[in-house]
A and B are shown apart, each in its own frame.
Chain A
Amino acid sequence: KAGVTQTPRYLIKTRGQQVTLSCSPISGHRSVSWYQQTPGQGLQFLFEYFSETQRNKGNFPGRFSGRQFSNSRSEMNVSTLELGDSALYLCASSLDSGRNTEAFFGQGTRLTVV
Chain B
Amino acid sequence: AQSVAQPEDQVNVAEGNPLTVKCTYSVSGNPYLFWYVQYPNRGLQFLLKYITGDNLVKGSYGFEAEFNKSQTSFHLKKPSALVSDSALYFCAVKNSGYALNFGKGTSLLVTP
Residues of A within 8 A of B (CB): 4, 6, 33, 35, 42-43, 45, 48, 55-56, 58, 90, 92, 97-100, 102-108, 110
Quick check: is B1 within 8 A (CB to CB) of the other chain?
no
Residue with the greatest number of chain A CB neighbours at <10 A, chosen from B32, B41, B100, B101: B100
Residue in A43, A98, A110 whose CB lies within 8 Å of B98: A98
Q: Is the CB of B43 within 8 A of A43?
A: no
Stretch of B13-21, B45-53, B63-71 that contacts chain A: B45-53
Nearest residue (CB) in A for B45 is A105
Across the interface, which residues of A come within 8 angstroms of B103, CB to CB?
A: 42
Q: Is the CB of B98 within 8 A of A99?
A: yes
- Interface contacts beyond A98-B98, A99-B94: sample of 10 additional A-B pairs, CB < 8 Å, sorted by A: A42-B102, A45-B101, A55-B97, A58-B99, A92-B44, A100-B51, A103-B100, A105-B36, A105-B44, A106-B43
Q: Is the CB of B98 within 8 A of A102?
A: no
Q: Is the CB of A45 within 8 A of B43?
A: no
Q: Is the CB of B100 within 8 A of A107?
A: no
Q: Is the CB of A100 within 8 A of B46?
A: no
Across the interface, which residues of B come within 8 angstroms of A56, CB to CB?
A: 97-99
Q: Report the bound CA distance from A110 to B100 in whole Å.
A: 20
8 closest Cβ pairs, A-B complex: A105-B43, A43-B102, A45-B99, A105-B44, A56-B97, A100-B51, A107-B43, A99-B94
Q: Is the CB of A102 within 8 A of B101?
A: no
